[in-house]
Chains A and B, each alone.
Chain A
Amino acid sequence: EVQLVESGGGLVKPGGSLRLSCAASGFSLSSDTMNWVRQVPGKGLQWVSSISSRNTVIYYADSVKGRFTISRDNAKNLVFLQMNNLRAEDTAVYSCARAKFPGDVGGFDIWGQGTLVIVSS
Chain B
Amino acid sequence: DIVMTQFPLSLPVTPGEPASISCRSSQSLQHSNGYNYVDWYLQRPGQSPQLLIYMGSDRASGVPVRFSGSGSGTDFTLKITRVEAEDVGVYYCMQALQTPWTFGQGTKVEIK
Contacts and interface: CB of A to CB of B under 8 A. Distances in A.
B4 to A, nearest CB: 10
B103 A108 contact: no
Interface of A: 35, 44-47, 50, 59, 61-62, 95, 97, 100, 104-109, 111-114
A47 B54 contact: no
Interface string B27-69: 0000000000101010100001111011100101100000000
9 contacts: A45-B49, A45-B92, A59-B100, A97-B49, A100-B51, A104-B101, A105-B96, A107-B53, A109-B51
Contacts of B50: 111
A61 B100 contact: yes
Nearest to B55: A106
Given A100-B51, A105-B96, A111-B49, A47 B101 contact: yes
Interface of B: 37, 39, 41, 43, 48-51, 53-55, 58, 60-61, 92, 94, 96, 99-106
Nearest to B95: A47
B39 A95 contact: no
B49 A100 contact: no
A61 B39 CA distance: 19
B103 A45 contact: yes
B92 A44 contact: yes
A76 B40 CA distance: 31
Contacts of A105: 37, 55, 96
A62 B106 CA distance: 21
A74 B60 CA distance: 25
Contacts of A109: 51, 54, 60-61
Contact of B103 (A47, A59, A100): A47
A47 B2 CA distance: 13
Contact of A112 (B48, B58, B103, B105): B48
A109 B48 CA distance: 11
Contact of A114 (B37, B48, B54, B101): B48
A44 B49 CA distance: 11
A111 B48 contact: yes
Closest 10 CB pairs of A and B: A107-B54, A107-B39, A111-B48, A47-B101, A45-B103, A59-B99, A107-B51, A106-B54, A61-B100, A109-B51
